[in-house]
Amino acid sequence: MQTTRAREKSARRRAAAPPAAPPPPAAAARARAGARAPRARRAACVCLSLSPRALARACVFPVVCSASAHTSLFPSGLLHFLRRRLCELFCNQLARARFRKKDALATRASTPAPEHTRAAAAALVPAAAAALATSLALGKMVFGIVYFLGKDEQLLLETLTDTIVHNGPGKVFPPIFCKRKIKRKAELLEPLDWCRIKDTVTGEVRVESGPQLLFLLPFDEVQSRGQAVSLTPVDFCTITDNRTGEKRMMCGPKVIIPGAFEEISQTQQAYSLEASEYVKLLDRATGKRWVEKGPMLLFPKPTWEVLDGGVQRAISLKKVEYVRLIDGISGAIRVERGEQLVFPSATETILEGEGVGVIGLG
């Protein structure tokens, strides 16, 4: 509509002007050659006949108005600034095109019709390319200043003085002075997943477990990921706290997620002792030795050590059999006669070559 009004105003100015003198034959020939020009070149000539501001309004306003349909996406005053700025850009480009046209008209008088036609077309090509580049820059500027975030996305903005994050879903208008903009996915944690996160400003370390969609804070950094340890009723593991050095044992059935400074050892199985079995143990913290007899399910503590290769079977004596045991510390010897089950103490062993029976009996 604004282009039509500009044309009508230009027509009224031409009608009010005094009649011009008849053109010379050379000008009439050039006019006839221009009438035979292609439709695209005639349209370009019409555009150049308009004033720079009228043509800027005709070209720029439709682009900006198409964006103004989404006025809810833009802050107040932004569209007015874009209109003013783009009008200035188009006016500058068209002014340059007019100077090129004057140069082409100056050389047209001394050249035949085909030559000046090609010169005019060549003069219009840079103006059209500049207008196209400006339009592309406008589209990138208008539609690149807003970020649309999905449900599993977040935008990290590093401004001049602070770092902030915006979690989706939604739309975000970054500030003008922004050092860095990063669009990233949230951390998806399944029911058995966990991740260890460190705050790079305060140094605090925390553990987040699933199931959840985890949105990191501005200064968060993921240090490690892992899966929880699932223990069956006969499994156990040792957990070490690297900050205090304390160790503790966890028995199943249970699902274990380590703390911020904890490490979990490999899963081990408990010792299943029958009625005729036993195991010798040593507590490395106190140095104590003792024997655990079955039937039981033994879960050794972190400071316990199983001696003599693990589970052993007790000595079964018949009525006419006996066995002699020697204490490795005191050297004392004791004799046990059947019929019974004999469980040696933690420091006793069967006297070699002595006793009667299946196991070293004389």
In this predicted structure, what is the pLDDT of residue 320? 83
Q: What percent of the chain has pLDDT over 90?
A: 43
| Confidence band of 328 (pLDDT split at 50, 70, 90) | confident
More confident residue, 156 or 43: 156
pTM: predicted TM-score of the whole model, two decimal places: 0.55
Q: What percent of the chain has pLDDT over 70?
A: 59
Does residue 229 register a pLDDT over 80? yes
More confident residue, 314 or 64: 314
Strand-pair partners of 303: none
Does residue 254 register a pLDDT over 80? yes
Parts of the chain belonging to CATH 2.30.30: 314-362
Distances (CA, A) of 105 to 41, 101, 118, 123, 131: 15, 6, 12, 10, 22
In this predicted structure, what is the pLDDT of residue 11? 67
In this predicted structure, what is the pLDDT of residue 68? 45
CATH of domain 314-362: 2.30.30
In this predicted structure, what is the pLDDT of residue 101? 66
